[in-house]
């Protein structure tokens, strides 16, 4: 008997969840596994944020909240965009959802006609593609190789826009590559889009605060004010404030787009949890020193991993500009033989080998539509990362026939 509708047929289960599941199963078998698969900060939510949730519960904020978000949280979002991003949005140009993920779902559900194309810069957060597929859209991956810094170029963009193009999805700092655009590079992409009025831009800025080497974050809509009405700025508290479990994300854009997204959300989930919204508002409005200290820790770990990878033959990693991942090139391992005589033919083989031989769980680049790479998360202590890098180095040194 089959239960799943044909709509789900093209959608694969989340691969990073699969990697974590494999890591858990290996642990259950008694194997010593370091899980660098999942993308969530290893820090705890700061106490003042938890306290705000507690107080909201005690005040009785326990009823259905408005679908588009509580007034307090939407005001906090409006203030945040003004203060941090020089962006003016009104209260009805903002929606609060169950994580940035639901903002994405709402946006695509609200706008995509069957066959509409969504441009994705590969490597990209795999969920983008799956959501588009569920909704009958056509994901169009644009290869942004390591040699181009994993960045989309204006010429590339110009060459792929068709009458069917509905969205360009930009995500910086990027999951999984950590790539960050310069202001000039963003403006140049914006100039290409100026002539294509049907194309909307989804700027996923969820890693905005995890930015290294003194870079200053600039929102797409602030750099391209002429496109602000066609841009949905997406953000959330999961990464910056170590609040993945609270499930609060938000989006800002044209009021008609937000109204359509609110209509979608009203049919799926209603408003996001009132208590989590109170906590998220406290996160945005409150002291930001923990955000900065999380960022410094991620930068030190980035440095550690880059230095360690540089000493492992066959692997490459240019320093990511932000986020908490290392997208490690493994072209040099393809074709090599494991001690058991198996040949590593692609990055899925490489991650399977690392899990088995090194006890390190990582996500293959194929999940992000760019190979051969594997992604490790740096949301782990320096001690754990050093241990993981020791193990990877040992497993690689056991291979025969590295190509570089
Ligand atoms: N966008 C990107 C690029 C992400 O990496 C994630 C989380 N992995 C999300 C959106 C979703 O975040 P959340 O739903 O937790 O807000």
Q: Is the CB of 45 under 6 A from ligand 1?
A: no
Q: What is the pLDDT of residue 16?
A: 67
Q: Which of 324, 374, 287, 380 is nearest to 212 (CA)?
A: 324
Ligand 1: atom nearest CA of 125 is 3
Residue that is written with structure tokens 């999805």 in the block? 169
- Ligand 1: centre distance to CA 17 (Å): 13
* Widest Cα–Cα separation across the chain: 65
Q: What is the pLDDT of residue 39?
A: 87
- Ligand 1: centre distance to CA 98 (Å): 11
* Domains of the chain in sequence order: 6-44+290-396 (3.90.1150.10), 47-285 (3.40.640.10)
* Distance from chain centroid for Cα 402: 32
Q: Which of 330, 306, 313 is nearest to 378 (CA)?
A: 306
- Ligand 1: centre distance to CA 247 (Å): 10
Q: What is the pLDDT of residue 391?
A: 98
Q: What is the pLDDT of residue 364?
A: 96
- Ligand 1: centre distance to CA 206 (Å): 7
Q: What is the mean pLDDT of each run of 10 residues along the chain (404 residues)?
A: 88 74 88 91 97 98 98 98 98 98 98 97 95 96 97 98 98 98 98 97 98 98 98 98 98 98 98 98 97 97 98 98 98 97 96 96 95 97 98 98 80
Complex ipTM value: 0.99
Q: What is the phi/psi pair of residue 36, to 5°?
A: -105, 30
Q: Angle 287-288-291 (CA atoms, 0-180°, nearest 5)?
A: 145
Strands 165-171 and 117-122: parallel
Exposure string for 369-404, b = 16+ CB within 10 A, e = fewer: bbbbbbbbbbbbeeebbebbbebbbebbeebeebee
CB of 399 closer than 8 Å to CB of 337 = yes
How would you class 245 by CB atoms within 10 Å of its CB: exposed for 0-12, middle for 13-18, buried for 19 or more?
exposed
To the nearest 10°, report the CA torsion of 44, 49, 50, 56. -160
Q: Is the CB of 123 under 6 A from ligand 1?
A: no
Name the residue of 99, 130, 243, 378 to mutate for ligand 1: max ligand atoms within 8 A of Cβ.
Answer: 99
- Ligand 1: centre distance to CA 7 (Å): 23
- Report the SS3 class of residue 322: strand
Is the C-alpha dihedral spanning 27, 33, 38, 42 positive or negative? Answer: positive
Q: Which helix (H) or strand (E) holds 268?
A: helix 255-268
Reported pTM: 0.97
Q: What is the pLDDT of residue 10?
A: 86
Q: Which of 105, 118, 107, 89 is nearest to 229 (CA)?
A: 89
Q: Is the CB of 236 under 6 A from ligand 1?
A: yes
Q: Is the CB of 99 under 6 A from ligand 1?
A: yes
CA distance linking residue 146 with residue 176, whole number of Å: 12
Q: Is the CB of 171 under 6 A from ligand 1?
A: yes
In angstroms, the Cα distances linking 292 to 31, 45, 180, 266, 270 are 36, 14, 18, 35, 33
DSSP 93: G
Q: Which helix (H) or strand (E) holds 100?
A: helix 99-111
Q: Is the CB of 351 under 6 A from ligand 1?
A: no
Ligand 1: atom nearest CA of 104 is 10
């Amino acid at each position: 008997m089959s239960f799943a509708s044909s709509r789900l047929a093209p959608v694969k289960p989340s691969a990073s969840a699969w990697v974590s599941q494999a890591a858990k199963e290996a642990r259950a078998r008694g194997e010593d596994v370091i899980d660098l698969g999942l993308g969530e900060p290893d820090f705890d939510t700061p106490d003042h944020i938890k306290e705000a949730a507690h107080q909201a519960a005690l005040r009785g904020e326990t009823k259905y909240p408005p679908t588009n978000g509580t007034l307090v949280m939407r005001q906090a979002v409006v203030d945040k965009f003004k203060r941090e991003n020089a962006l003016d949005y009104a209260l009805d140009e903002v929606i609060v959802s169950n994580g940035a993920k639901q903002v994405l779902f709402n946006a695509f559900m609200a706008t995509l006609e069957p066959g509409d194309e969504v441009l994705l810069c590969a490597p990209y957060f795999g969920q983008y593609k799956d959501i588009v597929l569920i909704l009958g859209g056509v994901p169009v991956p644009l290869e942004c190789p390591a040699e181009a810094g994993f960045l989309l170029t204006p010429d590339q963009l110009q060459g792929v826009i068709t009458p069917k193009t509905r969205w360009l999805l930009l995500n910086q700092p990027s999951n999984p590559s950590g790539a960050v655009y310069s202001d000039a590079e963003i403006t140049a992409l914006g100039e290409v889009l100026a002539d294509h009025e049907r194309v909307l831009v989804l700027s996923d800025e969820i890693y905005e605060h995890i930015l290294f080497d003194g870079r200053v974050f600039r929102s797409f809509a602030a750099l391209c004010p002429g496109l602000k009405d066609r841009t949905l700025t997406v953000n959330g508290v999961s990464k910056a404030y170590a609040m993945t479990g609270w499930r609060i994300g938000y989006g800002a854009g044209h009021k008609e787009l937000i109204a359509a997204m609110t209509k979608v959300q009203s049919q799926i989930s209603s408003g996001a949890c009132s208590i989590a919204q109170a906590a998220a508002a406290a996160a945005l409005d409150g002291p930001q020193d923990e955000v900065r200290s999380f960022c410094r820790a991620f930068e030190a770990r980035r440095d550690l991993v880059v230095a360690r990878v540089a000493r492992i033959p066959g692997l490459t990693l240019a320093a990511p500009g932000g986020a908490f991942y290392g997208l490690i090139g493994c072209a040099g391992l393809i074709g090599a033989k494991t001690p058991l005589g198996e040949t590593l033919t692609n990055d899925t083989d490489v991650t399977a080998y690392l899990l088995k031989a090194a006890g390190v769980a990582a996500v293959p680049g194929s999940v992000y539509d760019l190979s051969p790479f594997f992604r490790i998360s740096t949301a782990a202590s320096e001690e754990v990362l050093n241990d993981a890098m020791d193990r990877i180095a040992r497993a690689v040194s056991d291979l025969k026939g590295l190509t570089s």
